Structure 1
Amino acid sequence: MHQSEIQKAQRVIYLVTGYRKGSISESESAELEAWLNFSPENQDLFNELNSADQKEKALGIMNPYSVNDSFENLKTRIAKEDQLVEKKRRYSWIAAAAAILIVVSIGGYFYTSTDRENIMVDGLAVAKDVAPGSNKATLTLADGRTVELNGDKQSVIIKANELTYNDGTKIISEGRSRNQYAVLTTPKGGQYQIILSDGTKIWLNAASTLKYPAEFEGSQRVVQLSGEAYFEVAKVNAASGRRMPFIVKTETQQVEVLGTHFNINNYPDETDSKTTLLEGSVRVSAASVIPASQLLKPNQQSIIAKDSEFIKVIKVVPATVIDWKNGDFIFDTDIKTIMRQISRWYNVEIVYEGNITEEELVGTISRSKHLTEVLKVLQETNKVHFKLDDTASPGVEKRVIVMP
């Protein structure tokens, strides 16, 4: 059997497993349906996989072997099928899918009542998966009240004494003075959009915090950020009609703009604080570096390393920086930086074993995919491999073990 046919068989295993567990995504469900509709043989195979007779037959195959030996024996049989005529080969991967699915599920590689969720076979994830992050955030008001924002809504709109969702649904009447600050917090596995009282739009990435006033007063608009956010700053304060500088303060720097689009990455666990300009102009300032401020042009990024005394400015492709805001992962960096992004979006704990490569890995995949699909993209580089298990810290979905 050709390698591509084996991969097709493995893909069928993944889809049917997701269907059984109820963890299959909409796109994967459509893929499975297309496979079922391709031929009557596919539909028959799918039905047979759930029959008692097939399970008994699988048990008979398993008896003489261990799980690993059975899988190796099965792969040997698949390889021999490569000698068959072309007409038979056309459906050989379908039969292989049936054999692998039955044998492996009986052997315990699939999610079963024993709740084994820690196996990956030949790069194919066959464990209970981790769903991607979603719209999820908590709003803490100045008086201490907290609001868990609706994940089905797109954004929250801030007004002086009222909070609404983007569809006009009322959240709460705040009843607070204009100069009091509130805090929007996204957890790991969460993101949210907020529209401030001046009309500025902010997309907050996972594990981030934004502190803002109900209404801007004085000669400046000031917010505070920890984590990552993408800003589309209104040139004119919609509430007052005045042109006022917009300032974002972080632990390491201050970014001043008037009307512009930019991204700030300032996570505590990252070694650098990065500001990337897409449109307009921004001035990045930090008292501890030289020069004390730097004016950025579009497609430029400032980098302030925590152990450096200088502001570094480089040219970048903005799409690779705001990939998260556009719903993608665009990887072009070392594995540890990549895994920090994955940890925040999927709420998983990362553990390293062995001598992990420091090479930059390249890949692109939607952030709407389940965790194992993202890991498979990285694993295809043959530079790293992964395992999942349930020994993660409380409140964390899974532990991801990264290996050479």
Structure 2
Amino acid sequence: MKDQVYYFGADNENAYLAKSGAIVVKQDSTGFLDDTRNQKVSVSPKNKSVTVDFIPWGTDNGLPVQVITKIHANVTVGSNADFNAKMCYGDGIMVVRKVKGNGAVTFEELTESEVPEIFDFLDNNNIIRQFQDCGSDMVALGDSFVELTFDRQGEKIVKVRQKEAAFSRLSKQNETNGLVEYHGYSSFWGEKIPDDCIVTPLLDREAPLYDLKIRMGLLPDEKTGNRRKTSERRFILSLGVPTPGRFYYNKPYWWSIFTSGWYDFSCLIPFFKKALMQNEMVLKYEVSINESFWAKLFKAEGVTKPEEQAARKLAFLKQLDEFLAGHKNAGKSFIKHFRYDQQKGIELHDIIIKPIESFIKGGEYIEDSEEANNVICYAMGVHPSLQGASPGKSKTINGTEARELFIIKQALTKPLRQALL
């Protein structure tokens, strides 16, 4: 049918207008990676009698979940994230003793019979699972949080639990001592002000072990010179490797694939190819519609029900299709309004229409897909040949090259493994 509107994409956010041959794609309004400015979320936690102010993570306080969703929506990004997380795990945890002899320091592996208490601790806390969870969070979100629980006497750590970074938030900096003092844990961040938030003291991220020793009375307090053991028995340790200019939440360097547009480009290619094969499309226009446009349209016309909004959206797309396809509209102007974002220094448009000069004939997207995958692999620090991202017989490598690339990757991942340990 020549007057059909075909939706495609993860949430049917994109569409193909068959009559005009136009492809309609969603355009982010502000960028989901934008930071909040002078905002806070005041929470009355379940386990505290005071109100604590937490800093949102992202403009809507749901950035971690959005990033995770985007990771799962792209084959290359998901595969690379999994690969990097496995590299963080390495050979796992071994119990060893450092031995010095013959002018060299070596490590001697210990057995369970030699140090049963250590092996019991590792087994009881399922350290292998904790290590894997921490590595996944470090790769995806740039930080990982671990809860340390002491016994009643506060003499030794008896429990270690990984706390999902996606459900973790940091309290506002204490202006007196300059420290971020609390960690808030809730599954409702980004949805509402949580009523299930668990607040736990956060160890000083600059010197967590030193801070812990002071809290547990092993070292004197810097201000008073006295040793005093706190009544707290649970603490949160942040494992994140800092990134420049980030005080509360880290921003991994590979997130540049989102701001640069390569992620969106990579995601659109398979949908384009699928739509082309299913509907025998010929693309003539690319129409980018700002995601805020629909909300403004629905508000202006008083359309509130989901089914009415879907119908209004379809009607608008058909009108747009008719405008682009109609021969009577040839040579006429399309008038649109835009505003200027002074902070970012960019123009913000509701609708952008671009003609596509070269029509698709069947194989053009292969090179585009390869280029997008290579850029994503480059940003995530994964050589394409280790993941098979480069198609074609002439682009394979031999076993020696693959082994050397893997060894290099292991060496580059050492800072993350040290942070986890």
Which bracket does the TM-score occupy, shorter chain normalised?
under 0.3
Higher relative contact order at CA 8 Å, sep ≥6: structure 1 or structure 2? 2
Which structure shows the bigger proportion of residues in helix conformation? 2
Normalised TM-score (structure 2): 0.22
